[in-house]
C-alpha cells in the first residue's frame, strides 16, 4: 500500500475488448488514454519482442504523469507469421492480404504488457498459437465488409464470425488473442501492495 491508500489501476487503452477482459478480473480501474503515442519499433527487433517493446514505449509516455498511488497497464498485440509482424490493417486491401497470409496455417499472437508505477516497471509477453482453416475468397470478403477489422492486429478478432468459422486449433490463452493475457496479469498484480483481490470485497 502506498501512503496508506489503495493503488488506482489505470488501463491505458480504449479497446472495448481490453476493458471487458480487465473488468472480468474483478478489480476496479479507470481508462486513461494519452493521444499521439508513437507505436513504431526498430526494424531489427525480433518479431516476438515487438509487442512488449511497444507496450513499454506506451508506458513511458504515462510514467512522468503518474501519481504515487497509480498503476498503469499498457499493452500491445501483434500477429506473427514467419517472423513477419502484422499490426492493424491500413485498408481493405491490407486486411485481405493479412487474412490470406493466415489462411490455412498456424500463426502466433503475441501480446506485450507493461505494468508501471512510480516505483517500478515490469513487462512481459504472452504468445498463443492459432490455426485457421483455408478461408475462401467469399468468407474473407464477407468478414471484411461486415466486421471492418481495421482496429485489430492481423485483421481479425477471434471472438467474431471469422473466429467461429475459421479457427481450427488454439494453443495457449484465448483471451490473449482477444488482446489481454488476463491470467498472467492476475498473477502479476494479485499480490501487489495496495491492490485488493476481488474476494476481499465479498460479503
Instruction: Indicate which residues carry an active-site annotation.
Output: 76
155-164, long-range: CB within 8 Å, 24+ apart, which pairs?
155/86, 155/88, 155/89, 155/94, 155/95, 155/96, 155/98, 155/99, 156/98, 156/99, 156/102, 157/17, 158/130, 159/17, 162/99, 162/135
Amino acid at each position: 500500500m502506498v501512503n496508506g491508500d489503495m493503488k488506482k489501476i489505470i488501463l491505458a487503452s480504449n479497446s472495448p475488448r481490453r476493458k471487458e477482459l480487465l473488468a472480468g478480473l474483478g478489480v476496479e480501474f479507470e481508462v486513461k488514454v494519452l493521444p499521439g503515442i508513437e507505436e513504431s519499433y526498430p526494424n531489427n527487433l525480433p518479431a516476438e519482442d515487438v509487442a512488449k517493446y511497444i507496450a513499454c514505449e506506451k508506458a513511458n509516455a504515462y510514467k512522468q504523469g503518474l501519481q504515487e498511488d497509480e498503476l498503469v497497464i499498457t499493452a500491445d498485440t501483434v500477429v506473427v507469421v514467419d517472423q513477419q509482424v502484422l499490426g492493424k490493417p491500413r485498408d481493405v486491401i491490407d486486411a485481405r492480404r493479412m487474412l490470406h497470409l493466415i489462411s490455412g496455417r498456424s500463426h502466433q499472437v503475441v501480446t506485450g504488457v507493461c505494468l508501471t508505477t512510480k516505483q517500478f516497471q515490469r513487462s512481459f509477453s504472452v504468445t498463443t498459437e492459432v490455426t485457421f482453416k483455408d478461408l475462401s475468397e467469399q468468407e474473407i470478403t464477407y468478414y471484411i465488409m461486415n466486421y471492418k477489422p481495421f482496429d485489430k492486429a492481423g485483421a481479425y478478432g477471434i471472438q467474431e464470425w471469422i473466429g467461429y468459422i475459421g479457427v481450427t486449433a488454439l494453443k495457449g490463452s484465448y483471451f490473449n488473442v482477444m488482446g489481454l493475457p488476463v491470467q498472467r496479469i492476475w498473477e502479476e498484480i494479485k499480490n501487489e501492495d495496495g491492490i485488493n483481490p476481488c474476494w476481499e470485497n465479498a460479503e
